[in-house]
Structure 1
């Protein structure tokens, strides 16, 4: 949880994200270096713009303790216009 809070604060503080939701208590089951692993993890839902994605990815890679953190992007097909504008405003440097 400490890593999740650090990343969330770092991304919002750098105006790379307007908001980060932290969903704790996830159990991840995955294969790593030929072995099946299980770990408790937190999911971060990072609200940003397409223009900021590369910077968000780079910052997470730099600050996350995992060798290969899961970082994927979901395109938003629709949303409340005022909310999407708020995200754009918050992530404009």
Structure 2
């Protein structure tokens, strides 16, 4: 389910009036979505699959990180690769479904964060490169 972000169009009686407000309003429909996996190859496959499906405009794979977490009544430590997707809110449900289906973890990390502001050209590029099913 898509998180209940507060798009500018629902602000009672307010519409963006200056360039900064317009950029913030535009950015509110853009998300970064984070997941992790246990190998560089799997991370690249998740990234490529989402971009090929046009569910994300871009995906960045970060070098290994060390994750410490509770799992099945124990504290685990694992080396993981992070994948950060740039997408729009309308694509989130399909991106989450895609990642859940393609991921080999029982409970994959899939966290969406709204982008509060950004360069107009970059935000427009994300919008143009993604297609909500």
1:90 alignment counterpart? 129
Q: Give RMSD over aligned pairs.
A: 0.9
Equivalent pairs counted in the alignment come to: 93
1:59 alignment counterpart? 98
Q: Deviations over 1:33-54 (max 9, x none)?
A: 1011011001111000000001
2:62 alignment counterpart? 23
- Which runs of 4 or more aligned residues in structure 1 lie more than 6 Å from their structure 2 counterparts after TM superposition? none
Q: C-alpha separation between the residues in 2 aligned to 1:39 and 1:17?
A: 27
Q: C-alpha separation between the residues in 2 aligned to 1:60 and 1:34?
A: 25
Q: Deviations over 1:11-37 (max 9, x none)?
A: 000000000010021000000010110
1:39 alignment counterpart? 78
CA offset at residue 92 of structure 1?
2.5
CA offset at residue 72 of structure 1?
0.4
Alignment gaps of 5+ in structure 2: 1-39
Alignment gaps of 5+ in structure 1: none
Q: Deviations over 1:40-93 (max 9, x none)?
A: 001111000000001111111001110001000110000001100000000036
Report the TM-score when normalising by structure 1: 0.97
